Amino acid sequence: MVLDSGSGFVPSYDCIMSKRQSLVRALLVSTTSMVQGGLSETSRRCGKPTCQCQADPTARHGPHLYLTYREEGESRSLYVPPEHAADARAAHEAWAAFWTLGCALAALNRETLRRQWQRDVSPRGMRARQRRRRD
């Protein structure tokens, strides 16, 4: 580990590269089943006037699972049959993992850029800036 002058310990370049490779592999695994969207459960009344669900909210039909998402700026929902609920939940969890991994990868990329940009600053330019600050 290398001590960063601002915020504490930061990983070395080799450690960052190793972590990046690990994250990319995990990212690829999560893409095999991920589905972007949310899951919602709803209970509904049917159209039969004599059904209990018309008078008693606790007797409504459901809960029914839906995958909700946006497509071309519009909200959409996809009914999930009960026998596929576990698949839908796993796909939703894979999306959450993909998002988390992507954010971690972005953080590593920021660290790499920060280091590269600090390395690219010429010592002569740094000295001139330091002189200006003292003046």
Q: How confident is the model at residue 64 (pLDDT cuts 50, 70, 90)?
A: very high
Q: How confident is the model at residue 23 (pLDDT cuts 50, 70, 90)?
A: confident
Joined together, the tokens standing for residue 11 give: 């990983």
Domain that holds residue 38: 2-134
What is the domain count for the chain? 1
Residue 40 sits at φ, ψ, to 5 deg, of -140, 145
Residue 36 sits at φ, ψ, to 5 deg, of -75, 135
Q: How confident is the model at residue 5 (pLDDT cuts 50, 70, 90)?
A: very low
Contacts (Cβ under 8 Å, ≥6 apart) of 3: 9, 10
